Amino acid sequence: MFTLWGSILVCLIRNTRGTKWGSFKGDLREQLDRGPEMNMKDEAGLGLAIHWVQLALISADEDNCPLRPVKTGRQSLKWTAELESLRRGVRRLFNKCRSNKNLHSWEFYREAQQNYRKEVRKASKNAWKSFCSSINDLPRSARLHRALSRDSKLKLGSLVAPLGRCTQSEGETLVLLLTTYFPNLGVTQESAAPKATLLARRPDWRLATRVVTYRRVEWAIDFCPI
The answer to whether 178 touches 187, Cβ cutoff 8 Å, is yes
Tell me the per-residue pLDDT of 60-94, one tens digit each, with 9 for 90 and over. 888 898 888 876 554 455 667 788 888 888 888 88
Rounded-to-integer distance, Cα 49 and Cα 58, Å: 14
pLDDT of residue 9: 59
Give domain limits for the chain: 12-69, 81-135
pLDDT of residue 192: 47
Tell me the per-residue pLDDT of 9-53, one tens digit each, with 9 for 90 and over. 567 888 887 888 888 888 888 888 887 777 777 788 788 888 888
Tell me the per-residue pLDDT of 117-139, one tens digit each, with 9 for 90 and over. 998 888 888 887 887 777 777 77
Q: Tell me the backbone φ, ψ of residue 222, rounded to 5 degrees.
A: -70, -30
Q: Indicate the burial class of 149 (C-beta count within 10 angstroms; 0-12, 13-18, 19 or more).
A: exposed
- pTM here is 0.38
pLDDT of residue 75: 45
Helix (H) or strand (E) holding 151: none
Tell me the per-residue pLDDT of 163-222, one tens digit each, with 9 for 90 and over. 878 888 878 888 887 887 777 766 555 554 455 556 778 888 888 888 888 777 777 766
